[in-house]
Structure 1
Amino acid sequence: MRKAFISPSKYVQGENELLNLGYFVTSFGKKALLIANQSDIDRVRKQLDYTAEKYNCLFVTAGFNGECSRIEVERLKKLAITEQCDCTIGLGGGKAIDTAKCVAEGNAVIIVPTIAATDAPTSHSAVLYTPDGAFDDYAYFKQSPSVVLIDTQIIAQAPVRFLVSGMGDALSTYFEARANQKSYANINAGLPCGVREQLCEGAKPTLAAFALATLCYQTLLKDGKKAKASCIDKVVTPALENVIEANILLSGLGFESGGLAGAHAVHDGLTILEETHHYYHGEKVAFGTLVQLILENSPEEELKEVLDFCLSVNLPVCLEDIGVKTISDQQLTEVAEKTIIPEESIHSMPFPVTVEGIKAAILLADTIGKNYKTTGKFVK
């Protein structure tokens, strides 16, 4: 049986680690293209100046326009060539990070997240948008980032909703990896057909990936509530350190090497509802995880454990929690149809799925979530 494990070359996490950014730049050369929103640069200006002086390197600011579009990527590629940059840095949130990945095309890229809202920093994929912000396409590269550098002091200063959203994204990792283990699905089964040949075609999840996905879930249950409290107080504690690692590293390796399944496919289906657009990726994935558990007919004890965790950190447990106060049968059908399109990861579940089955699971997850939230019971 062919197996594969995908990961960044280096992952470094700790307080004030941004002060060491220059060290990693010098492993490639002296000059780095810095892709970041100006507000993020201003927020860490002292650290950037310090590390540039200490390690005798230069950051070329890109004037990033905030959108990971093909036009912006091409502009920044030309700038990197003109300035003779030795590496690319993506600093900030998801769009700056994805733009850096696209500019570098898998070569000499350093990722510096300033929030822990998703597990994307460690991955070798990115999302492209049109210049006006609409979804364009996915991009995949030959390898994961060279360095992922996490400054936990900076992440502790970010709004707490980002951290909680990251927990929602990470929550699905174990359950989706478990589904892939049961179905013997390929880890890239949820990717568009055109990019599968570039990756590990036919590869199954490793024991290592499933172990990391399991640890991710265990860490959330143990430290999630305390980590949220730490972020509210803007202090770094062991619990916050552990959850940042779970959100970014454990979840990132767990999803990319363990595979996606129902939760993320349901997320993708829900995005057709305009009301959900104001909610973060991980918030919708959390509800998608509950839908996956309903599809699997998971034991009541497991559902309660997930519901208790979600409620303890204020993650969504019903449609209303992601902005959907009412949903027509036609809308529900469209969500389900989007969820089970041929290229979706839902087909990594260890059983066939249908539109009617997805509709039923969404409705039951919504009912259970609402009842449990208000009464602490599955039924009124």
Structure 2
Amino acid sequence: MSTKIIISPGKYIQGNGELAHIENYTKNYGRKPFIIADEFVTGLTKDIVDKSYKANNAEYVMELFKGECSKVEINRLKALAEEKGCDMVVGIGGGKTLDTAKAIAFYIGCPVIVVPTIASTDAPCSALAVLYTEEGTFDEYLLLPTNPSVVLIDTQIIAAAPVRLLVAGMGDALATYFEARACKRSNAVTMAGGNVTEGAFALAELCYKTLISDGLKAKLVAESKISNSSVEKIIEANIYLSGIGFESGGLAAAHAIHNGLTVLEECHHLYHGEKVAFGTLTQLVLENAPMEEIKEVIEFCKSVGLPTTLEDMGAQNVTEEQLRKVAEASVAEGETIHNMPFNVTADDVYAAILTADKLGKYFK
């Protein structure tokens, strides 16, 4: 029998105004937290954080994150955390801030708490940090031995962020169920280091059902920068259900095709989840999924504003040669497309992209 593994953060806490209770959550992991946030997020959260620590006569150190999750920045902040005698790390902000916090905590050997201020990807819950060079190009993946001790979500802050970020998170989450399903069929090894557990698969499936039932409602509510039960459900789907689902359920064609699309300059303006949404549609074409399923995915994407055609992504004028480069990058050695339950070639991906584009147009 194969080994099945599910991994997750120690605690997932979500609610309106939860950041105001941050001291209450950090005190269980250390007596002096080292908190990082970029300039914008510091302006947004510093008073809330300060009030929480002052009310409890607790100390903390807050430092400015300079914006790039690079080894230079990680080392700079790590040195400051050690110098100030901090015994835990907190990251408040977007993906790069959270990944930097995870990396600092890993190198110091202390707990980390992450506080996402946007719900645009499923990365916060993961035992992974993506490192970049100082110029902002991809450097390497830092695989961590544990997931964050706590993922703390203040839905009031997330609902106030631009709605396109929430929608991009839905695009990232959209792939979760279909990729986990492919990995389950092929018995692939996930990022958790084992095969798909029933629990991870159930969460991946719930993630998809939640998007279909509440995605459009959440988008419409979040346009007014407020939160309600639909927004709460989608934030949980984007961050937690998709986070456990992708890491312990597995990645397949959708994310590999996203990686392929990054070779197109025409797609550089798109968020991660926007490209993943089109990658999901392309994966369903590769699988020759039932037409009802493809139609449901396209209609969901259209309703919330995720791309279903090359034109939606600003890539309507790309050449065959460019698309073949996308297809080749998608099937590179080590890519997650090889977790599909059948062999996939660059020709298969090229044909699937063209077909997905035509289906997207057909259902317009």
Which range, TM-score by smaller chain? over 0.9
Match runs of 1:105-116 below 5 Å: 105=106, 107-116=110-119
The one-letter amino acid of 1:144's match is N
Q: Distance in 1 between matches of 2:195 and 2:234?
A: 27
Query: What is the aligned partner in structure 2 of residue 237 from structure 1?
Result: 228
Verify the 8 A CA contact 1:18 1:47 in the aligned structure 2.
yes
Q: Distance in 2 between matches of 1:46 and 1:103?
A: 24
Query: What is the aligned partner in structure 2 of residue 345 from structure 1?
Result: 336
Q: Distance in 2 between matches of 1:248 and 1:8?
A: 11
Verify the 8 A CA contact 2:42 2:64 in the aligned structure 1.
no
Verify the 8 A CA contact 2:87 2:110 in the aligned structure 1.
no
The one-letter amino acid of 2:154's match is D
Q: Distance in 1 between matches of 2:185 and 2:54?
A: 52
Query: What is the aligned partner in structure 2 of residue 192 from structure 1?
Result: none
Query: What is the aligned partner in structure 1 of residue 198 from structure 2?
Result: 207
1:80 corresponds to 2:81 = yes
Verify the 8 A CA contact 1:117 1:247 in the aligned structure 2.
yes
What is the aligned-residue RMSD (CA, Å)?
1.1
Q: Distance in 2 between matches of 1:210 and 1:254?
A: 7
Query: What is the aligned partner in structure 1 of residue 40 from structure 2?
Result: 39
Q: Distance in 2 between matches of 1:341 and 1:42?
A: 42
Q: Work out which of the residue numbers 285, 288, 293 in structure 2 matches 1:302.
A: 293
The Cα offsets for residues 98-122 of structure 1, whole Å up to 9 and x where unpaired, read as 1111111173100000000000000
The one-letter amino acid of 1:262's match is A
What is the deviation of 1:150? 0.2
The Cα offsets for residues 317-338 of structure 1, whole Å up to 9 and x where unpaired, read as 0112122121212211211111
1:166 corresponds to 2:169 = yes
Verify the 8 A CA contact 1:26 1:55 in the aligned structure 2.
no
Query: What is the aligned partner in structure 2 of residue 119 from structure 1?
Result: 122
Query: What is the aligned partner in structure 2 of residue 193 from structure 1?
Result: none
Match runs of 1:126-145 below 5 Å: 126-145=129-148
Query: What is the aligned partner in structure 1 of residue 67 from structure 2?
Result: 66
Secondary structure of 1:185's partner?
coil
Range with greater deviation from structure 2 (308-317 or 41-50) = 41-50
What is the deviation of 1:348? 0.5
TM-score (norm 1): 0.93
- Runs (4+) of structure 1 exceeding 6 A deviation are none
1:268 corresponds to 2:271 = no
The one-letter amino acid of 1:63's match is L
Query: What is the aligned partner in structure 1 of residue 179 from structure 2?
Result: 176
Q: Work out which of the residue numbers 254, 260, 265 in structure 1 matches 2:245.
A: 254
Identity of aligned residues (%): 54
Verify the 8 A CA contact 1:22 1:56 in the aligned structure 2.
no
1:219 corresponds to 2:210 = yes
Range with greater deviation from structure 2 (332-341 or 296-305) = 332-341
Query: What is the aligned partner in structure 2 of residue 372 from structure 1?
Result: 363
Q: Distance in 1 between matches of 2:169 and 2:57?
A: 35
Secondary structure of 2:153's partner?
strand
What is the deviation of 1:58? 2.7
Query: What is the aligned partner in structure 2 of residue 13 from structure 1?
Result: 14
What is the deviation of 1:347? 0.5
1:93 corresponds to 2:84 = no
Q: Distance in 1 between matches of 2:240 and 2:352?
A: 30
Q: Distance in 2 between matches of 1:157 and 1:143?
A: 30
1:146 corresponds to 2:149 = yes
Q: Distance in 1 between matches of 2:270 and 2:201?
A: 28
TM-score (norm 2): 0.97
The one-letter amino acid of 1:315's match is L
What is the aligned residue count?
361
Q: Distance in 2 between matches of 1:54 and 1:175?
A: 46
Range with greater deviation from structure 2 (5-14 or 101-110) = 101-110
Unaligned 5+ runs, structure 2: none
